[in-house]
Amino acid sequence: MMTADAFWQIVAIVLIAASLSVPFGRYLAHVFMGERTFLDPLLDPVDRLLYGIIGPAQTSRPMDWKDYAVHMLLTNVLMGVLIYVILMFQGHLPLNPLHFAGVNPELAFNTAASFITNTNWQNYGGESTLSLFSQTAAITFPMFTSAATGLVVAVAFFRSLAAADGGRNLGNFYRDFVRALTRVFLLPCLILTPVLVWQGSPETFTGQAIAHLVQGGLQHIPMGPVASLEVIKHLGTNGGGFFNANSAHPFENPTIITNVLEMLLMMLTPMSLVVAFGRMVRNPRLARVIYGVMAIMLMAALFIAVSAEQGGTPVLAGAGVAIVHGGGQPGGNMVGKEVRFGNTQSAMFDTVSTAFTTGTVNSMLDSYTPVGGMVSLVLMMLNCVFGGKGVGLINFLIYGIFAVFIAGLMVGRTPEFLGKKIEKREILLASLALLVHPLIILVPAAWSLMAPYGVSALGNTSMHGLTEVIYAFTSTAANNGSAFAGLSGNTPWYNIALGVVMLIGRYVSIIFMLALGGSLAAKPAVSETVGTLRTDTLLFGTFWLATILLVGALTFLPALVLGPIAEYFAMHAHLVS
């Protein structure tokens, strides 16, 4: 059980985020439907300048799904290579006040893959590995572009669902990309960076402060342009920290105010995108059903995680720790948590972070209770509880295609979704998109657990060690980046395996999804009657939720049983300390 005050904190944060998502969702729809917004006079010249640089021919033509995918890939490959080169040669590049050498090739690959895919999995400690130039050009820069990539792919997918021309025009990748950068991501960064500075985040190109300690000696305190990174890190659901401790570090997340602000930033675009989806496919009722189902899953996850952490563990209780809240004690499981956030704000932050595929942490998941840690794991396995900007909603829609297919049969019609028939090609593409996720989680995780080079990097043995490995691959497969910690990922095997998983998890999924959209767009629309299965009802929403939970549970339950579930039961049977 949780305290009343925690309950209201959860309700409040979801309500505030929801109320922000409605106007912002409308704004997103305006931006991507080419409608006028109040920022146009300010930003149109900037856009035109960027179109000019990319090339007028490329930025003015319509693209179908293949074209869109190709240009998305080309742009990403180019940026990925650039990041890789910067990391490898940072020793020869400017803004390197602490004189860090170039990053080793495996780690550079892992990091480039991680940041170009919006995963932000970090097998390094930023303050002890990267120059300020690398932090800016190889970390902060792709935080913008990878966020924009995810967003525009989702936008193209929505357009393909609403396409009336057979899908020949799903927009222009470059135009969408530029508009996403200028109109969605850049501006809030400019506005909100000062807020973080006010709360105590540094924004400087000085590499470190040197403190003369009272007891004598010097302390080197690394710093840099942290505040600007924090905004895009959360707004773009990136999650890569400047420091190894990520948002637990007082420079990244100094106060409870920044903690709430960072949570709201993570939630803003993914929630708004559902609203924008409803407008773009001209079916706001469907969007409300999706939003509702996602919100229910999110609330459930928050309640479970916070309850679990507030409840503590029998081991702590047995050790004489005050696990009941009160008397100036936070109670529960405070291991690995910051005192300034407490159980509630910590569990909320990490849950929001995994639900919205940000992956930033303000407390160490490795020290969570089995149930608290499992909530984050499950959210990434499902990868559709709002999820990152775009991909989460597309995953949700893919579950929807399955739900529609089976429910559609049960009403005696060839299943339809948004007026398009779901046939072999759609089922095949949706199935493949769905198959990728468990495949790139379970296979490399099993491999790592068999191989000595996989096992040797683990911080724990037994069920907790198993959870660490599964968590790492789940987090990278979902392009989440949340780290369970406990796994020393900076080994050749994990750098390469996790890097490859991130790339597949991102691009293979995106291509299947765009192909699915293209296939639907090319179909003639079927008219809707009372014999048509309605997807915008409470009944179908419930079936949709059941499909997600059932397919998710069926796929990942064995792994969960051996990891956190076994640990939970063992802990309560006092078999494990």
Partner 1 sequence: MTGSTASHPNMARRVEAYRARTVGLIGRALMDSLKKFSPRVQVRNPVMFIVWTGMFITGALTVNPGLFGPSQVGRWYNGTVTVILVLTVWFANFAEALAEGRGRAQADALRQTKDDVTARKIASDGTLSIVSATNLRKGDLVRVEKGDIIPTDGEVVEGIASVDESAITGESAPVLKEPGTDMASTVTGGTKILSDWLVFKVSADPGHTFLDRMIHLVEGARRQKTPNEIALTVLLAVLSLIFLVVVATLMPMADFLHVHMDVATLIALLVALIPTTIGALLSAIGIAGIDRATRFNVLAMSGRAVEAAGDVQTLILDKTGTITIGNRQATEFISLPGHTDNDIASAGLAASWYDDTPEGRSIVALAVAKGAKHEPSWDKARGIEFSAETRMSGTDFPDGHKARKGAVTAIANYATELYATAASEALKEAALVVARRGATPLAVAIDGDIIGVVALSDVLKPGMRERFAHMRSMGIKTIMVTGDNPVTARVIAEQAGVDDFVAEAKPEDKIGVIHSEQAKGRLVAMTGDGTNDAPALAQADVGLAMHSGTTPAKEAANMIDLDSDPTKLIDVVAIGKQLLITRGALTTFSIANDVAKYFAMLPAIFMTALPGLAALNVMHLATPETAVLSALIFNALIIPALIPLALRGVRFKPVSADAMLRRNILIYGLGGLVAPFIGIKLIDLVLGLFLR
- Structure tokens that stand for 37 in this block: 């917004």
- Give the shortest CB-411-to-partner 1 separation in angstroms: 4
- Give the shortest CB-570-to-partner 1 separation in angstroms: 4
Q: What is the residue whose two structure tokens read 């990891």?
A: 563
Among 194, 282, 561, 577, binds partner 1 (CB under 8 A): 561
Q: Which is nearer to partner 1, 195 or 526 (CB)?
A: 526
Which of positions 232-291 make contact with partner 1 (CB under 8 A)? none
371 contacts partner 1 (rule: CB under 8 A):
no
Would you list the DSSP string of 187-222?
HHHHHHHHHHHHHT--B-S--EEEEE-TTSSEEEEE
- Measured CA to CA, the distance from residue 279 to residue 155 in angstroms comes to 11
Which of positions 388-427 make contact with partner 1 (CB under 8 A)? 402, 405-414, 419, 422-424, 426-427
Tell me the C-alpha to C-alpha distance, in Å, between residue 108 and each of 81, 99, 139, 498. 10, 17, 12, 12
Given the rule CB under 8 A, which of 57-65, 87-95, 361-369, 566-574 is the region that contacts partner 1?
A: 566-574
The answer to whether residues 458 and 469 touch, using CB atoms and an 8 Å cutoff, is: yes
Three-state DSSP class for 329?
Answer: strand
562 contacts partner 1 (rule: CB under 8 A):
yes
Binding mask 502-541 for partner 1 (x = CB under 8 A): ----------------------xxxx-xxxxxx--x-xx-
Among 37, 169, 462, 490, binds partner 1 (CB under 8 A): 462
Say how many residues touch partner 1, by CB under 8 A. 70
Q: Counting beta carbons within 10 angstroms of the beta carbon of residue 562, is it exposed (0 to 12), middle (13 to 18) or buried (19 or more)?
A: middle
- Give the shortest CB-441-to-partner 1 separation in angstroms: 9
452 contacts partner 1 (rule: CB under 8 A):
no
Q: Counting beta carbons within 10 angstroms of the beta carbon of residue 518, is it exposed (0 to 12), middle (13 to 18) or buried (19 or more)?
A: buried
Q: Which is nearer to partner 1, 92 or 424 (CB)?
A: 424
347 contacts partner 1 (rule: CB under 8 A):
no
Given the rule CB under 8 A, which of 16-24, 33-41, 446-454, 474-482 is the region that contacts partner 1?
A: 446-454
- Structure tokens that stand for 294 in this block: 């996602």
Q: Which is nearer to partner 1, 329 or 537 (CB)?
A: 537
318 contacts partner 1 (rule: CB under 8 A):
no
546 contacts partner 1 (rule: CB under 8 A):
yes
List all residues 6 or more positions away from 426 whose beta carbon is below 8 Å from its beta carbon: 401, 420, 516, 519, 520
Given the rule CB under 8 A, which of 8-16, 34-42, 305-313, 543-551 is the region that contacts partner 1?
A: 543-551
Q: Which is nearer to partner 1, 12 or 443 (CB)?
A: 443
Angle at alpha carbon of residue 136, lines to 131 and 139, rounded to 5°: 95
- Measured CA to CA, the distance from residue 236 to residue 541 in angstroms comes to 28
42 contacts partner 1 (rule: CB under 8 A):
no
The answer to whether residues 152 and 73 touch, using CB atoms and an 8 Å cutoff, is: no
- Measured CA to CA, the distance from residue 163 to residue 182 in angstroms comes to 26
- Give the shortest CB-430-to-partner 1 separation in angstroms: 9
- Structure tokens that stand for 442 in this block: 């379970």
- Measured CA to CA, the distance from residue 349 to residue 343 in angstroms comes to 10
215 contacts partner 1 (rule: CB under 8 A):
no
- Give the shortest CB-410-to-partner 1 separation in angstroms: 4
Given the rule CB under 8 A, which of 34-42, 212-220, 255-263, 440-448 is the region that contacts partner 1?
A: 440-448
**Start-end of H helices in 369-423:** 370-382, 391-410
553 contacts partner 1 (rule: CB under 8 A):
yes
- Measured CA to CA, the distance from residue 561 to residue 160 in angstroms comes to 39
Among 33, 98, 439, 508, binds partner 1 (CB under 8 A): 439
Q: Which residues bind partner 1 (CB under 8 A)?
A: 402, 405-414, 419, 422-424, 426-428, 431-432, 434-435, 438-439, 442-443, 445-447, 449-450, 455, 462-463, 465-466, 524-527, 529-534, 537, 539-540, 543, 546, 550, 553-559, 561-562, 565-566, 568-573, 575
